[in-house]
């Protein structure tokens, strides 16, 4: 009995989610060291970090620069010689140049010695991912080469070369194998054969951005992998905004034998989050021993493997992985009384909650990294701009919660933003009054109802609200035109042609964009406060798909946090905000008809609604707009994975997150994001653009491209897709 107790079988492992910044080598180093320190404090003897955590995932073409590789090596050197990294196996991500080929690698080291450099074997290259542009996949399965270390590393490790390739670590008590992000999603993931070859702990370092319901897919993949094959699975992920338009949503986890034993947060403002779990290796071994399909002979007979005898067992027929022997144990000798981690049930967010939390976290990261003083939002009294305002209010709510729970990093950031070293946010409304300026830009075509709705919402969320009239600017511009041409265009309601009416509407929309940027730059100056504001746009994905927007109007902004969200999802999100944040002004916004208010009022009432003008000459098409967003994301997303927004096929009320500068996107990897502040592919004029953007965009139906060229015929084809 005493001998059994000294064997050690309980292992404590750690994974993490880090908010790494692209090319912030010093900051990234400090966050990595902090995560290792926390892992050691919790008793872990193995620590896994996110993909490319040393340089940050979103370096893009900076990967081509030798400085990126050099500074990554300098950070690695600092990690190798730091006392924090002693007595724990550290698994970090960085780019490595081997034989003049650039690889996305895991560097695994212990006590100042590099054990293995494991290059990524399957690169993500669809949707938002372009890894093949910068890296080459390692194609030599279960083979290694010598990697000759740079002199700066040799001097520290006293190693001339280390193994480079597809291998596993064999410690005194277990065997550890690595996957990198995309490899988990491939049809035949490495963990399958690694598990059959005796690997008991699988690790996955990811750079996976947020998509609605993507957490479901991640959890399903990990639990399925360990259900079929047994074993312990660690998943680490990037979190936050990595300097781009994507939000990485953490969701680090630890699983064993199909169960979850540690769940990381999906939306958090903390830069460093570390998960640990203490698990029994004997649970893995006994679980595997009961899987007859794993242990019995395959019906196809043994696979011929050089230097091995044919064996009827499926597990023993697998071509073995090269093993790197490590004189170190993850378990401790006397661990009989050490408590084990208990399984937990994964807690998912609803799609509306994800919209409330994900883009809000992304806005916070974008704001603090841009070193601006807040946001400027044209608030029209409609659902789109109201939803954008609610996202900022949700951000303020999360900031106050983080400060309440003792986050010194968030507190320091918010003090920098508001330029007050003694400020401590406690009330989201009060914080919102400092960092959000809203503006209702009225014209002679604006109604009292939209003005009241905008003012009521601004008052309830606490934003600094401005009301102004754009008519003097519009008349001045039209006066220049009349002075030069001798012509005075008129609205259709006043006897003008459709061309005249369109031009007059577009002038109003574009004047609002110019005014928005002017006030964003100088409104704080006028109040005697330092800094500038970021202009927020509020064009949803349905409008972008349809082309129902005026180029360079208020949809043109620094950032558009709802540019990838459909109207259906925005309405669900606004409903959630109304109930959760107690914002009754949103009720009137939800029931009001959508209108651009660019044409003259009829007896003081709105005469122009989106339902008519957006889809002329076919208003019956309007109810199908959310379905257009859903289908565009669903049909363009990889069919082997869950539909965007986490919906199952045929689920009502959910639509796809599509291209647009947004915090999250559709499909497993999302759609490409075009332009800084909205699609530049929309038609010149709003009404002329109705349906044309949809009709000119190829539809992907069952893997085939269908370019649409005829008006009525194209609409019929699109509606047929809806029916299917």
CA distance 269 to 123: 29
Max Cα distance, the chain (Å):
103
Helix/strand/coil for 703: coil
What gap in Å lies between CA 442 and CA 508, rounded to an integer?
Answer: 10
Mean pLDDT, to the nearest integer, of 25-50? 98
Angle formed by the axes of helices 383-404 and 428-435, to 10°? Answer: 120
User: Which of 129-133, 313-317, 411-415, 449-453 is least confident?
Assistant: 313-317
Measured CA to CA, the distance from residue 411 to residue 400 in angstroms comes to 9
Average pLDDT over residues 385-404: 98
153-209 pLDDT, tens digit each: 999 999 999 999 999 999 999 999 999 999 999 999 999 999 999 999 999 999 999
Mean pLDDT, residues 484-490: 96
Query: Whole-angstrom Cα distance, residue 197 to residue 301?
Result: 17
HSE at residue 629, side-chain half, CA atoms within 13 A, is 32
Burial, 17: exposed, middle or buried (Cβ in 10 Å; 0-12, 13-18, 19+)? buried
3-state secondary structure of 620: helix
Whole-number pLDDT of residue 555: 74
User: According to CATH, what is the number of the domain 10-300+318-337?
Assistant: 3.60.110.10
The structural domains of the chain, with segments of one domain joined by +, span 10-300+318-337, 351-470+512-601
Give the model confidence (pLDDT) of 682-708 as tens digits. Answer: 334 443 333 333 333 333 323 323 333
DSSP codes joined into one string, 227-269: HHH--EEEEEEEEEE-SSS-EEE---EEEETTEEEEE--SS--
Nearest residue to 409 via CA among 305, 269, 505:
269
Please compute the mean of the pLDDT values over residues 131-151 and round it to a whole number. 97
CA distance 356 to 664: 12
- Cα(160)–Cα(280) distance, rounded to whole angstroms? 36
| pLDDT in the model for residue 608 | 55
Around Cβ 99, how many Cβ atoms within 10 Å? Answer: 9
Look up residue 30 and give its two tokens: 């400090």
**What is the C-alpha to C-alpha distance for residues 644 and 634, in angstroms, rounded to an integer?**
6
Contact 75, 94 (CB under 8 A): yes
Query: Which of the residue ranges 16-20, 26-30, 504-508, 657-661 would you say has the lowest mean pLDDT?
Result: 657-661
Q: Which homologous superfamily does the CATH classification assign to the domain defined by 351-470+512-601? A: HUPs (3.40.50.620)
Quick one: average pLDDT of 516-534? Answer: 96
How many Å apart are CA 18 and CA 249, to the nearest integer?
Answer: 10
Catalytic site residues? 51, 120, 181, 380
At residue 212, the pLDDT reads: 87
Decide: helix, strand or coil at residue 628: helix
Tell me the H-state helices in 448-557: 448-461, 471-485, 498-526, 541-546
pTM: 0.84
């Amino acid at each position: 009995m005493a001998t059994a107790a000294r064997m050690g079988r309980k292992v404590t492992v750690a994974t993490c989610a880090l908010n790494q910044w692209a090319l912030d080598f010093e900051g990234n180093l400090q966050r990595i060291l902090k995560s290792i320190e926390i892992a050691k404090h919790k008793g872990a003897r193995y620590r896994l970090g996110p993909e490319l955590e040393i340089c940050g995932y979103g370096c893009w073409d900076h990967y081509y620069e030798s400085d990126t590789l050099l500074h990554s090596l300098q950070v690695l050197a600092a990690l190798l010689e730091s006392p924090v990294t002693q007595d724990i196996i550290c698994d970090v991500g960085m780019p490595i140049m081997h034989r003049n080929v650039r690889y996305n690698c895991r560097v695994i080291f212990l006590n100042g010695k590099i054990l293995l450099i494991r290059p990524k074997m399957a690169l993500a290259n669809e949707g938002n991912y372009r890894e093949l542009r910068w890296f080459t996949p390692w194609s030599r399965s279960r083979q290694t080469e010598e990697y000759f270390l740079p002199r700066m590393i040799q001097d520290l490790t006293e190693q001339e070369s280390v193994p480079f390739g597809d291998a596993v670590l064999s410690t005194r008590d277990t065997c550890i194998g690595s996957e990198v992000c995309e490899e988990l999603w491939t049809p035949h993931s490495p963990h399958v054969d690694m598990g059959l070859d005796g690997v008991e702990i699988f690790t996955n370092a990811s750079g996976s951005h947020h998509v609605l319901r993507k957490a479901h897919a991640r959890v399903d993949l990990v639990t399925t992998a360990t259900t079929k094959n047994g074993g312990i699975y660690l998943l680490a992920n990037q979190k936050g905004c990595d300097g781009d338009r994507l939000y990485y949503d953490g969701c680090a986890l630890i699983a064993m034998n199909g169960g979850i034993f540690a769940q990381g947060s999906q939306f958090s403002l903390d830069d460093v989050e570390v998960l640990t779990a203490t698990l029994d290796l004997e649970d893995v071994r006994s679980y595997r021993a009961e899987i007859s399909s794993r242990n019995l002979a395959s019906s196809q007979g043994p696979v011929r493997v050089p230097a091995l005898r044919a064996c009827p067992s499926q597990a023993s027929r697998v071509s073995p992985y090269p093993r790197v022997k490590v004189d170190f144990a993850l378990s401790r000798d006397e661990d009989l009384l050490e408590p084990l981690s208990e399984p937990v049930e994964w807690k998912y967010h609803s799609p509306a909650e994800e919209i409330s939390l994900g883009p809000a976290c992304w806005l916070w990261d974008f704001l603090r990294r841009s070193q601006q003083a807040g946001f400027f939002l044209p608030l029209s009294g409609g659902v789109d701009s109201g939803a954008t305002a609610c996202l900022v209010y949700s951000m303020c709510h999360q900031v106050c919660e983080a400060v309440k729970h003792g986050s010194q990093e968030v507190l320091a950031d918010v003090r920098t933003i508001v330029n007050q070293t003694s400020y401590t946010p406690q009330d989201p409304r009060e914080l919102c009054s400092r960092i959000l300026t809203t503006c209702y830009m009225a014209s002679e075509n604006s109604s009292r109802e939209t003005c009241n709705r905008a003012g009521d919402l601004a008052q309830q969320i606490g934003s600094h609200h401005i009301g102004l009239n754009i008519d003097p600017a519009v008349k001045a511009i039209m006066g220049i035109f009349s002075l030069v041409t001798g012509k005075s265009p008129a609205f259709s309601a006043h006897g003008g042609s459709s061309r005249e009416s369109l031009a007059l509407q577009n002038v109003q929309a574009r004047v609002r964009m110019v005014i928005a940027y002017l006030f964003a730059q100088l409104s704080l100056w006028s109040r005697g406060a330092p800094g500038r504001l970021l202009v927020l746009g509020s064009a949803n994905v349905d409008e972008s798909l349809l082309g129902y927007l005026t180029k360079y109007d208020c949809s043109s902004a620094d950032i558009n946090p709802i540019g990838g969200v459909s109207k259906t999802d925005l309405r669900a999100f606004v409903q959630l905000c109304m109930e959760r944040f107690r914002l009754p002004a949103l009720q009137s916004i939800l029931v009001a008809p959508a209108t651009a208010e660019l044409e003259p009022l009829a007896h003081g009432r709105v005469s122009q609604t989106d339902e008519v003008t957006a889809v002329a000459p076919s208003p019956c098409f309007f109810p199908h707009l959310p379905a257009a967003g859903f289908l565009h994301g669903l049909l363009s997303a990889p069919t082997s994975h869950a539909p965007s927004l986490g919906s199952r096929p045929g689920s009502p009320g959910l639509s796809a997150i599509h291209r647009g500068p947004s915090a999250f996107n559709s499909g497993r990897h999302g759609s490409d994001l075009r332009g800084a502040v909205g699609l530049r592919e929309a038609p010149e004029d709003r009404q002329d653009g109705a349906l044309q953007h949809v009709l000119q965009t190829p539809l992907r139906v069952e893997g085939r491209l269908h370019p649409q060229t005829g008006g009525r015929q194209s609409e019929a084809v699109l509606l047929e897709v809806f029916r299917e």
